[in-house]
A and B are shown apart, each in its own frame.
Chain A
């Protein structure tokens, strides 16, 4: 049953994806009126799916890697909606919708193959660790998306051609605020998530856990994250430079994600 709800959610997120593609291909926003309710419904079905799968398994679990992708997508969508309510703009969705769609799709079509059996995953602490870090990721995604939009809007303003394509973009300063505030929003989650993970890992593996590639990458990401915030705060970095750093953070985040496959600590195959 959760899988069905998840697939329904994927369908709704698909509307968001098509919306993004239409916007980027300059076809105008045919779906502008339906995109908000569509992804909103997607989020609700997604939520139902997650709750049901937890209820079915009887505990908060990350029983499969695909399930965690689903959670990450869900959190990214939640963070997106938090900012949507604050700034009344769908535009960061141009970047967020495709990511969310792909993550949810991967989760929806491949529920079976990799089933992680490590009992560790049944621990509530691990769940907290993962949710915190994922929320941090979501903030980073949003900030990354917004910083790309910032560049697009800046270019359009500088080129002085008021292409109709860009009327959907919010004012530069709004994009900038989304960029900064989503970073600020994600950072404490990321920090607490890493701290929780570290405590867990020290408890279980001892200090050696630190040499795990995923953990190294995660800390690297955290440092880039911190650097982003610091540059932003101290010298007002925005636009191209901020986007560059955000891209680095994003790539490191992807690396950290992919590192599951080389990681001893995170492979969870007992």
Chain B
């Protein structure tokens, strides 16, 4: 499997850089199509969240340059961002996908949102036809691994989600959250989650502002809150002590002058802005105002690093599971690898058998149907008995990666089987090996 993953995440790139690479939900199908149609790319998907952008592609021969494609996707040259981009291939790429899905690569290790986000990305790629059998196999395995990690380790149960970090910070500012009000700007999933946490800790009133008013109303209904038309945003935000912003706006929504206005209307009572949008909704300059606290997604990360170390042990166990799963997955891939060889071997012998029976038919004279069947059974039986050991050996060899190619080559040489097409060798399960088998007389 020629798998390539190129991406940026919260560890390699600050939010300023991730903003450059983030792909809004609406543009995602188009972007996946663009990536999948890049020369040399067979299958593709893109995961874009506030913490990461991952371009996953299976290429024909491992030569295709995905970075090239980034220029089309973003209209920017990725070269200046080289230090922020990471690239994984093959085994490492598989491992990376597993780690991401299992939330081991998350800002908050063990947080559950990422799995859903990967699933959504998968569904999007599938819907536009960018995913075929191999990425399909990879992703379904990744989801299974994520489930295993979640059930066999406790990283998920003790996970501190971004939302609960936000609650901690809010408590550092306001103490008791009883009776505090929360304003959600944007009606996204993360907003909802954070709001739920805040409510659970005593926050009373929820306001929701969203560009599409219907969505605001729907969200407000969930919390028994109040939907506010987006035009009234700047006049109403000061009602809330805590503002959670996660819109898809390309520019900042809240700037310093707004902050000053809010504070004077609130008679300087503190306000807490939680900005989980990428690109950011809140100008970091606002943090400089007295009594106004702005945390963006990267700042939340800094807060949680300490929490992460507590779960090191569990995370180590989870990493072991991922390693183990990667090996298993590769083994399966390689078993698939020998399938075309076995098939061509069987076809080759069948042709030989048929040819021999045809050649001897004259000498055998007329045979009763019973005799015909007996000859058939006899010849087939001999072939199967002889072939049993080589096929078993092939399958075993395939599982021990170091030997696989040697054994396969040897078998091909011994029986003079023609080179199987690359695509088939890579383990296409749906298409049977359609090579013509040359039979030497």
Contacts and interface: CB of A to CB of B under 8 A. Distances in A.
A174 B178 CA distance: 13
Contact of B268 (A157, A160, A171, A236): A236
Contacts of B303: 160, 162
B274 to A, nearest CB: 12
Contacts of A161: 302
Contacts of A266: none
A161 B300 CA distance: 10
B270 A173 contact: yes
Interface string A172-214: 1110000000000000000000000000000000000000000
B287 interface: yes
B266 A236 contact: yes
A238 B306 CA distance: 30
Interface stretch (B28-36, B90-98, B290-298, B419-427): B290-298
B267 interface: yes
A231 B176 CA distance: 25
B343 interface: no
B172 A160 contact: no
Interface string A223-255: 000000000000111111100000000000000
B299 A160 contact: yes
By CB atoms of chain B within 10 A, which of A170, A171, A239 has the most?
A171
A170 B175 contact: yes
Nearest to B295: A160
Contacts of A173: 173-175, 270
Given A160-B299, A162-B302, A235-B268, A241 B174 contact: no
Nearest to B288: A158
A52 interface: no
Contacts of A157: 169, 172-173, 293
B158 interface: no
Interface in B296-335: 299, 302-303, 306
Contact of A237 (B172, B174, B268): B268
Contact of A172 (B174, B268, B288): B174
Contacts of A236: 266-269
Given A237-B268, A238-B268, A172 B302 contact: no
A169 to B, nearest CB: 8
A154 interface: yes
A157 B303 CA distance: 10
B171 interface: yes
A241 B289 CA distance: 12
Interface in A105-125: none
Interface residues of A, number: 19
B154 to A, nearest CB: 23
B175 A235 contact: no
A191 B402 CA distance: 90
Contacts of B290: 154, 238-241
Nearest to A176: B270
Nearest to A158: B287
A17 to B, nearest CB: 27
Interface in B168-202: 169, 171-176
B173 A172 contact: yes
Interface string B72-116: 000000000000000000000000000000000000000000000
B317 to A, nearest CB: 26
Given A154-B290, A162-B303, A171 B267 contact: no
A105 to B, nearest CB: 35
A238 B291 contact: yes
A160 B303 CA distance: 7
Interface string B272-295: 000000000000000110110101
Nearest to A169: B172
Nearest to B272: A157
Contacts of A235: 264, 267-268
A106 B290 CA distance: 39
Interface in A3-23: none
Given A160-B302, A160-B303, A172-B173, A239 B291 contact: yes
A171 B306 contact: no
B97 to A, nearest CB: 31
B264 to A, nearest CB: 8
Interface in A137-163: 153-154, 157-158, 160-162
A16 to B, nearest CB: 24
Contact of B306 (A158, A162, A174, A237): A162
B364 to A, nearest CB: 89
Contacts of B295: 160
A161 B169 CA distance: 12
Interface of A: 153-154, 157-158, 160-162, 170-174, 235-241
12 contacts: A154-B290, A158-B293, A161-B302, A171-B172, A171-B174, A173-B174, A235-B268, A236-B269, A237-B268, A238-B268, A239-B268, A239-B291
Interface of B: 169, 171-176, 264, 266-270, 287-288, 290-291, 293, 295, 299, 302-303, 306
8 A-B pairs closest in CB distance: A236-B267, A236-B268, A171-B175, A160-B299, A239-B290, A173-B175, A174-B175, A172-B173
